[in-house]
Amino acid sequence: QCFSATGKPQNFLEADYFGGKGVGLVRLDTEYGAVDVYNTHWQAEYSVRPTDDDDGLENHALRLSQAVEMVQFIRATRRADFVCAAGDFNSPSDSLPLLFVLALGGFSDSMVTVRGEEEASKLFSYPSMDWAKGESIKRMRCDIIMLHSRHPRLALVVRESGLDFQQ
């Protein structure tokens, strides 16, 4: 499902408008039961802090709108006891749009669960840029796997976290 709010067509160098941002669903049948897997790609972050400029604030608002639409889509389509939501959220782990999905979707951040907040923040992160100054400001882990189980005795667990791209 495509998000109703995406970037501006006149910002063709950013390509968010033309990138077809949205959320998709695949339903898997496993020997342990069905798993609904959602994948998404949100509006990119072009500012270090959303309030730095009007574009940063607008992109933050777009990601918040996309978070709302994603939670609504998951609630409307979810059929399985086990749910995975993954993708490029283009949001720091403490951002309102991501916290919204974690809280209202009932998800846990799989890397935080397995490795803890500090260690998870180092994995798969990239330098966030202050594009006006051409400087790296902070690291941001934007590719996130969130998990949820409605089953009281079973849970989805990440057993291996893969590569650490900082090495």
Query: What pLDDT score does 71 carry?
Result: 96
DSSP annotation string for the chain: -B-S----TT-TTT-TTTTT-EEEEEEEEETTEEEEEEEEEPPP--SSSTTSSHHHHHHHHHHHHHHHHHHHHHHHH--SSEEEEEEE--S-TTSHHHHHHHHHTT-EEHHHHHH-HHHHHHTT-EEEEETTTTEEEEEE--EEEEEEE-SSS-----------TT-
Q: Summarize pLDDT for 77-94 with one digit per residue, the tens.
A: 999 989 999 999 888 777
pLDDT of 133 > 80? The answer is: no
Q: Summarize pLDDT for 96-106 with one digit per residue, the tens.
A: 999 999 999 89
